Chains A and B, each alone.
Chain A
Amino acid sequence: MRKGLKHDLPIHIILIILGIFTFYPFVFTVITSFKDSPQFIHNFWGITWPLHPLNYTDAWSRISRYILNSGIVTTASVFGVLIIASISAFAFARFNFPAKDFLFLCILSLLMIPGILTLVPAFLLVKRLGLLNTYWALILPYISGGQVFAIFILRSFIASLPEELFEAARVDGASTLQSFFNIAIPLSKPILVTVAIMNVLGTWNDYVWPLVTISDGRLWTITVGIVSFSSQYGGLEMWGPMFAGYVIASIPLIVLFFFTMRYFIAGLTSGALKV
């Protein structure tokens, strides 16, 4: 171990330098989030005393609504994706029926459709449905789009479960729904968490769609809200509260990360593979 450390010293040095450059903006953000304006001007780089935790109260009063909106939309979308995608994945994985492969291909081919193509017609559709400035304008398309890759992942997982389990359940007289709820779902828990996190990330971070469909500031999600908040506070040079807002906006995902680290990394990587 000690020998390893000595041998690896150059590697550690390079990685630590990369780490410092990577983290410095975030450290600066946290430090500045506790400053008032004179402290910001007179001591730009350092930590200053006293700390001003009231910046957080100020920022919270401005962005709590956006976080709540994002929370509602994300929760609803992710549960929607999990429910609908796992049902469809179950049907694809455990049953044979006419046109099964064709239907699956139809779903899968949507992975090739970039968001930029559908942006305009999807906006006009949502507008015509009268959903602009409602949570539904976000939730329904998020469920619809999010389920595609979810079905793809869940199907291969549920298909890999041993048939004997389902056979035994059938012999015992379990209905389709029972074998779905009592066998497929409990066994798929880890993959469901991964799919959920993948969708949380996508939904929480999406910017263009909420920008297009939600003009009512009270319904803005965190991404849209934080841009407007930044322009306002940055324009007023209220740097402390502005950075406090950034810290607050980052907390929900950071908390989620620490509770689900392993799944989180899997969710991140599989999310990237979705075009």
Chain B
Amino acid sequence: MNRKGKPRTIWKEITKKGQCYLLLLPTCLLLLTFNYYPSFSAIYHSLFDWDGANFIRYIGLGNFINMLHDPTIPLSFLNTLKLTICSLIINLTFPLLAAALIFHLKDSRFAYFYRTLFVIPMVVPGMVVFMIWRFIYNPISGLLNQLLTSIGLTQLTRPWLGDFDLALYAVIFIGFPWVAGIATLIYLAGFQSIPIELLDAVAIDGASTWTKFWKIELPLVMAQIKLIIILTLIGAVQGFVNIMVMTNGGPGEATMVPGLYLYRNAMYYNKMGYACAIGTFLFLIILILTYLNIRYLRSSIEYQA
């Protein structure tokens, strides 16, 4: 019986395993073409002087050495640093405050109401939000200058996005008061996963709300805080859509960031090799940050349905 059945089972096993690879075939083909190939191509071509078409010349680390001598590079990384620090400060204060307040509401129906309220703006496409803020900063008809004029502060009006010193901060200010974001949702999920018995026990001990917050609640959402830090860092290093549509790096190069500079080198100057080198460098930075991300992602919510 056993001997008789064996060849059949093996054959069945083989077809079944073959079937598995067949099931994975579309995934693998797509990933090899559109993800793996471009990734390796980028790293490989970062060693070449390349126009993306016929002209190609191996220059070793030439592109990276050129980056050291390119005045736009330090300028753009400095801007990224400013953007990163400001985004970190923003994401660690306003959304955390909003989430803590919502969490402290006695009536859970209100908590649900505010959560929904702060989710709705997230549904508005990001590009529409940028466009609205472009209008807010419009030098003549914009909401901000109109507001300043109508309250008698005409001397403060200015072309916000055209101001060398302020343009970058104007971009950072978009979305004020920054509570309608994913950060709020993540913090809130963190607060809500604190065991209720723990909070009750502390309440019986008579700790003040303030002590309770600093000593109990905040340490227990540390995983979420770490997660937000990592997500903010990674987002700030590679993001450039906000800069691109608000100032396009201007005035001059005052708000240039590495991502936008990469885009320009590739699309305007046909310096594909150089663009790949900037991309590879950003990738290395993000890889380090992602390493931290993976270390901390495990300890926090992966996703909640």
Q: Which residues of A contact B (CB under 8 A)?
A: 1, 3-5, 7-8, 11-12, 14-15, 18-19, 21-23, 25-26, 28-29, 40, 44-45, 84-85, 87-88, 90-92, 95, 97-98, 100, 103, 106-107, 110, 112-125, 140-141, 143-145, 147-148, 151, 153, 176, 190-191, 194, 204-205, 207-208, 212, 222-223, 226-227, 230, 234, 237, 239, 242-243, 246, 249-250, 253-254, 256-257, 261-266, 268-273, 275
Assembled-state Cα–Cα distance A121/B35 (Å): 10
- Rank and list the top 6 A-B pairs by shortest CB-CB distance, nearest first: A4-B106, A121-B41, A270-B303, A144-B34, A121-B38, A118-B38
A18:B24 contact, CB within 8 angstroms: no
B177:A265 contact, CB within 8 angstroms: no
**A84-B26, A90-B23, A208-B241 given; A226·B128 CB < 8 A:** yes
Assembled-state Cα–Cα distance A74/B118 (Å): 25
Within 8 A of A (CB), among B123-169: 123-129, 131-136, 138, 141, 143, 146, 150
Assembled-state Cα–Cα distance A234/B140 (Å): 11
Chain B residues contacting A15 (CB-CB under 8 Å) are 98, 101-102, 114
Chain A proximity of B151: nearest CB distance (Å) = 12
Assembled-state Cα–Cα distance A128/B131 (Å): 33
**A4-B106, A14-B101 given; A273·B38 CB < 8 A:** no
A275:B16 contact, CB within 8 angstroms: no
Chain B residues contacting A266 (CB-CB under 8 Å) are 303-305
A121:B23 contact, CB within 8 angstroms: no
A140:B34 contact, CB within 8 angstroms: yes
Assembled-state Cα–Cα distance A121/B40 (Å): 9
Is B73 located at the chain interface by the 8 A CB criterion? no
A11:B245 contact, CB within 8 angstroms: no
Interface of A is mostly: helix
Q: CB < 8 Å: which of B128, B138, B150, B189 contacts A234?
A: B138
Band of interface residues on B: 35 or more
**A84-B30, A116-B238, A122-B38 given; A25·B303 CB < 8 A:** no
Interface of B is mostly: helix
Which segment of B63-71, B211-219, B260-268 sits at the interface? B260-268
**A119-B262, A207-B245, A272-B182 given; A8·B104 CB < 8 A:** yes
Chain A proximity of B160: nearest CB distance (Å) = 15
Q: CB < 8 Å: which of A19, A100, A120, A144 contacts B275?
A: A120
Chain B residue with the shortest CB-CB distance to A249: B128
- List 17 other contacts, CB 8 Å, given A194-B303, A253-B123, A266-B305: A40-B141, A85-B27, A87-B23, A95-B16, A114-B282, A117-B282, A118-B39, A140-B30, A143-B30, A153-B303, A249-B125, A250-B124, A253-B125, A257-B119, A269-B189, A272-B182, A273-B297
B245:A120 contact, CB within 8 angstroms: no
Chain B proximity of A130: nearest CB distance (Å) = 14
Which segment of B82-90, B200-208, B283-291 sits at the interface? B283-291
B273-305 vs A, Cβ < 8 Å mask (1 yes, 0 no): 001100110110011001001000100011111
Assembled-state Cα–Cα distance A171/B42 (Å): 50
Pull 21 A–B residue pairs with CB atoms less than 8 Å apart, ordered by A: A18-B98, A22-B118, A26-B132, A90-B23, A110-B35, A110-B39, A114-B283, A116-B262, A116-B282, A119-B275, A120-B262, A120-B276, A121-B45, A125-B33, A147-B27, A148-B31, A222-B125, A223-B127, A237-B141, A239-B141, A254-B120
A114:B35 contact, CB within 8 angstroms: no
Chain A residues contacting B136 (CB-CB under 8 Å) are 25
B123:A8 contact, CB within 8 angstroms: no
Is B186 located at the chain interface by the 8 A CB criterion? yes
Most buried by B among A22, A106, A261: A22
Is B272 located at the chain interface by the 8 A CB criterion? yes
B186:A269 contact, CB within 8 angstroms: yes
**A144-B30, A230-B131 given; A22·B19 CB < 8 A:** no
Chain A proximity of B243: nearest CB distance (Å) = 12
Chain B residues contacting A151 (CB-CB under 8 Å) are 27
Chain A residue with the shortest CB-CB distance to B17: A97
Assembled-state Cα–Cα distance A143/B29 (Å): 12
A116:B279 contact, CB within 8 angstroms: yes
Chain A proximity of B81: nearest CB distance (Å) = 17
Chain B residues contacting A25 (CB-CB under 8 Å) are 129, 132-133, 136, 143
Chain B residues contacting A117 (CB-CB under 8 Å) are 38-39, 42-43, 279-280, 282-283
Is B249 located at the chain interface by the 8 A CB criterion? no
Is B185 located at the chain interface by the 8 A CB criterion? yes
Chain A residues contacting B36 (CB-CB under 8 Å) are 110
B275:A1 contact, CB within 8 angstroms: no
Chain B residues contacting A243 (CB-CB under 8 Å) are 135
B177:A269 contact, CB within 8 angstroms: no
**A26-B132, A114-B283, A116-B279 given; A205·B245 CB < 8 A:** no
